[in-house]
C-alpha cells in the first residue's frame, strides 16, 4: 500500500533547515567580518610592519678596524684586503653537496667546514658566509672558470687584520680573534649589540682589547628586498659603516725591538717610562708570540706549542709576572728611612757579612763584610746587613705604608687589561690571607728579609718601573699609559687622550737628593760601573739579584748546581740623565744570575739608543744576548740607519 507524504510537514522541515543554514552562514559571515576588522583595522600597523619585514632584510656592513701606530707613526696593526670564497645559503641549494663539489676546485679543510657550520647556526640564510679565506690568485682563477656550476657561491674581498712586525711588541699590541660564546653573551647584554651585528672578530689582548670600542668603528646597514624564500632581490637603501679610529701609542717600536733582540732567547721583562708624563716607551715580555696566528683561529699544533711551552710565551711578564725585587728595593727603603726619621745619611751600620736575629743568621753577599756603612755606601756597595737592620727598626707596617703610594703591590692603572696586583705584605694582609689559628700572626723574623726585597715581597716589572719613574720625577707620580691619542678615521684629526694629573707624594728634596747621589754612585763606582763605563751621560741605577728558590741558612748559592729555572733572577732599575730624567726603566732577566752582569748591560743599550740615537754593533748585540757584555763593544750604529724589518 503506497504511503502518502505530508506536504505540510515537509515544508516545515525545509524551512527549519533553511533557517539553520542561514544562521550558520550569518554566524560565519559575522566571524569573518570581525576577523577582517581585527586584522585590517585594529592590527593594521603591526601586520603591515611584519609584511614589510618579510619583504625586506637588513644586512650589516662591517666597518674597517682602526690602525695601531707607534709614537713615530710606524704601523703596528693594519688591515689588508684578500679574497674569500663565500656561500649564500638561500641561493646555494644543498649545502653539503655544494661544499663537496667546491672542495674539488678549491682546497677546503675540515676546520673550514667547522667554522662555516658555526657561522651558519648564527646567521640568516640570505647572508653571505665565508667557507675559505685568503684565496691565492690561482685558486681565484680556478673557481672563476667554474663559477657557473655554483649558484649562490661567489668570491668577495674582505679586510683581514695584519701585524706587519710579527712577534715584536705582541704582548703590548695584542691580537684579534673570533668572538667566543662568553664575549657574545657580554655583547648581547650591552648597549653595543647592534654595532656588533655581522662582526666575527674582537680584540683579545693588549691594546686591541682595551681600546676595542675605539678600534671597532660603527657598523653600517644595507636594506635588501627579499623573496618569500629569503632570496635577496635588490638593494633598497644603505648606510655606510664608519671605520674605527686609529690609536697612537707612546711606544717606540725601534726601542721595543732593540730590547727584544737584546734579550735573545732568554726570558724576562723590561718596562721603560718617561717619568715626566707616564708614557710607556717600551713594554717588553720575552718570549713573544706571533699574533697573526690568532687572526683566523689558531690551529691545534701552534696552540699546543704556545700553551705547553715551559717558557710560557703567552704570559705577559711585564704585567702578570710577579717577582721579588731583590736589591733594587734598597733605594726605596733608604728613602723610607729618611722620610720616617729612622735613619740619617751619616748614620753608620757595621756590616760584618751577616746579621743575626732570633737565632737565625741572615747572610750578606760574601763572608767578609763591608765594614762601617752609611746610607750612600749601603746603596753603592749594596749592603744587605744595613737593610736587615733597617727593616727590623722600621717594622712591616711602616714599610707597607711608605711603599704603597709608590705603587708596590697596587694596580698601576695602565691602559691594558690583566694587570696583577702583586704582594706588598703587612700584618693585616697576613691576618686575612691565613685564616687558621696561629698562621695569621706576623713574626718579627719575617720582617728582616723584606728589607732586601725578599720574603713575601712580590711585584711586577711594571710596578718596579713605575716606582723608579716616580723616584726619578722627584715624587710626582704619573699613571703609566701606552696610548697617547686617537686619529679620527674620517678627518684624521688627532685627539689627545685625557690624562689624570700627577700625584705629589711630598718627599723632602734633600732626602731625594741623598738617594739620587747614591744611585749615581752605583753607575760610577758601584755594582754597575763596568756596564756604564764611557757613557756620555750621567745615569742613576741599582742592580739586584732575587732568589727564585729559597737557599738554606747553611748553604751557599751555586748556580752550576741548580737547574736553570731555580737560578736567581737578574734585575736593574735606572733613570737618565740623572739630573733631568727623560727615561726610567726596570729590567728583569729570569734565572740569569747577577743583575750587574746581565740586566745592567741591557739598560745601558736602552739609554744609548734613547739619549744618543745609537744602536749596538752586531758584535755587541751577540755579546749582550749571551750575557757576556758590560760596556758596549765595537762601533755603534746610528739607530736611524738600522732597518726595522730585516731585508
**Catalytic (active-site) positions:** 327
Contact 594, 588 (CB under 8 A): no
Q: Are 568 and 549 in contact (CB under 8 A)?
A: no
Report the C-alpha gap between 230 and 227 in whole angstroms.
5
CA distances (Å), 399 to each of 17, 79, 374, 391, 392, in order?
106, 50, 20, 8, 10
Who's near 135: CB < 8 A, 6+ residues apart?
Answer: 82, 83, 84, 85, 106, 143, 155
The C-alpha cell that represents 453 in the structure block: 726585597
DSSP β-bridge partners for residue 615: 637
Whole-number Å distance between alpha carbons of 443 and 445: 5
Q: Among 211, 196, 203, 142, which Cα is nearest to 178's?
A: 203
Distance CA 222, CA 60 (A): 6
Task: Check whether the bond before 44 is cis (ω within 30° of 0).
Answer: no
Task: Give me the sign of the Cα torsion angle 195, 200, 203, 204.
Answer: positive
Neighbouring C-alpha atoms within 13 Å toward the C-beta of 346: 0
Complete DSSP assignment for 232-283: EEEEEEEE--BPPPEEEES--HHHHHHHHHHHTT--EEEEEEETTTTEEEEE
Q: How far apart are CA 70 and CA 64, in angstroms?
A: 19
Amino acid at each position: 500500500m503506497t504511503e502518502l507524504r505530508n506536504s505540510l510537514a515537509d515544508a516545515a522541515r525545509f524551512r527549519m533547515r533553511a533557517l539553520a543554514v542561514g544562521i550558520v552562514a550569518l554566524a560565519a559571515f559575522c566571524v569573518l567580518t570581525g576577523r577582517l576588522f581585527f586584522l585590517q583595522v585594529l592590527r593594521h600597523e603591526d601586520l603591515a610592519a611584519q609584511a614589510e619585514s618579510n619583504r625586506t632584510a637588513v644586512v650589516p656592513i662591517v666597518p674597517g678596524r682602526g690602525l695601531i701606530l707607534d709614537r713615530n707613526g710606524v704601523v703596528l696593526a693594519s688591515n689588508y684586503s684578500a679574497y674569500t670564497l663565500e656561500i649564500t645559503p638561500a641561493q646555494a641549494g644543498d649545502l653539503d653537496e655544494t661544499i663537496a663539489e667546491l672542495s674539488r676546485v678549491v682546497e677546503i679543510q675540515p676546520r673550514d667546514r667547522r667554522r662555516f657550520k658555526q657561522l651558519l647556526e648564527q646567521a640568516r640564510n640570505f647572508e653571505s658566509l665565508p667557507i675559505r679565506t685568503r684565496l691565492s690568485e690561482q685558486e681565484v682563477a680556478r673557481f672563476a672558470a667554474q663559477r657557473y656550476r655554483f649558484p649562490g657561491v661567489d668570491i668577495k674581498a674582505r679586510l683581514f687584520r695584519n701585524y706587519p712586525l710579527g712577534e715584536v711588541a705582541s704582548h703590548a699590541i695584542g691580537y684579534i680573534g673570533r668572538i667566543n660564546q662568553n664575549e657574545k653573551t657580554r655583547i648581547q647584554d650591552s648597549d653595543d649589540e647592534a654595532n656588533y651585528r655581522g662582526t666575527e672578530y674582537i680584540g683579545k689582548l693588549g691594546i686591541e682589547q682595551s681600546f676595542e670600542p675605539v678600534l671597532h668603528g660603527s657598523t653600517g646597514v644595507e636594506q635588501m628586498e627579499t623573496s618569500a624564500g629569503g632570496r635577496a632581490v635588490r638593494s633598497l637603501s644603505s648606510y655606510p659603516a664608519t671605520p674605527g679610529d686609529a690609536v697612537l701609542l707612546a711606544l717606540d717600536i725601534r726601542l721595543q725591538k732593540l730590547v727584544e733582540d737584546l734579550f735573545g732567547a732568554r726570558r724576562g721583562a723590561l718596562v721603560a717610562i718617561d717619568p715626566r708624563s707616564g708614557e710607556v716607551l717600551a713594554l717588553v715580555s720575552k718570549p713573544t708570540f706571533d699574533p697573526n696566528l690568532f687572526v683566523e683561529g689558531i690551529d691545534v699544533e701552534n696552540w699546543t706549542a704556545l700553551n705547553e711551552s715551559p717558557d710560557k710565551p703567552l704570559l705577559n711578564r711585564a704585567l702578570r709576572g710577579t717577582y721579588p725585587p731583590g736589591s733594587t728595593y734598597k733605594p726605596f727603603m733608604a728613602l723610607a728611612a729618611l722620610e720616617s726619621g729612622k735613619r740619617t745619611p751619616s748614620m753608620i751600620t757595621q756590616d760584618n757579612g751577616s746579621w743575626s736575629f732570633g737565632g737565625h743568621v741572615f747572610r750578606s753577599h760574601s763572608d767578609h763584610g763591608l765594614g762601617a756603612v752609611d746610607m750612600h755606601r749601603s746603596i753603592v756597595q749594596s749592603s744587605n746587613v744595613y737593610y736587615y737592620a733597617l727593616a727590623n727598626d722600621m717594622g712591616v707596617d711602616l714599610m707597607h705604608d711608605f711603599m704603597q703610594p709608590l705603587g708596590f703591590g697596587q694596580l698601576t692603572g695602565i691602559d691594558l687589561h690583566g694587570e696583577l696586583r702583586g704582594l706588598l705584605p703587612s700584618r693585616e694582609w697576613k691576618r686575612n690571607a691565613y685564616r687558621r689559628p696561629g698562621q695569621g700572626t706576623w713574626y718579627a723574623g719575617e720582617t728582616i728579609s723584606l728589607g732586601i726585597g725578599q720574603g713575601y715581597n712580590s711585584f711586577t716589572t711594571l710596578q718596579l718601573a713605575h716606582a723608579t719613574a716616580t723616584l726619578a720625577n722627584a715624587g710626582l707620580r704619573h699613571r703609566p699609559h701606552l696610548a697617547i691619542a686617537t686619529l679620527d678615521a674620517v678627518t684624521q684629526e688627532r685627539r689627545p687622550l685625557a690624562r689624570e694629573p700627577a700625584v705629589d707624594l711630598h718627599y723632602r728634596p734633600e732626602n731625594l737628593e741623598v738617594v739620587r747621589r747614591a744611585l749615581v754612585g752605583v753607575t760610577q763606582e758601584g755594582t754597575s760601573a763596568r756596564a756604564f763605563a764611557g757613557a756620555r751621560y750621567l745615569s742613576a741605577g741599582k742592580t739586584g739579584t732575587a732568589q727564585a728558590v729559597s737557599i738554606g741558612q747553611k748553604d751557599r748559592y751555586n748556580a752550576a748546581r741548580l737547574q736553570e729555572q731555580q737560578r736567581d733572577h737578574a734585575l736593574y732599575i735606572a733613570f737618565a740623565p740623572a739630573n733631568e730624567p727623560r727615561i726610567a726603566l726596570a729590567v728583569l732577566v729570569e734565572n740569569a744570575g747577577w743583575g750587574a752582569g746581565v740586566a745592567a748591560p741591557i739598560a745601558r743599550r736602552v739609554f744609548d739608543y734613547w739619549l744618543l740615537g745609537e744602536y749596538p754593533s752586531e758584535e755587541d748585540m751577540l755579546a749582550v744576548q749571551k750575557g757576556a757584555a758590560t760596556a758596549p763593544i765595537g762601533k755603534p750604529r746610528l739607530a736611524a740607519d738600522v732597518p726595522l724589518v730585516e731585508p
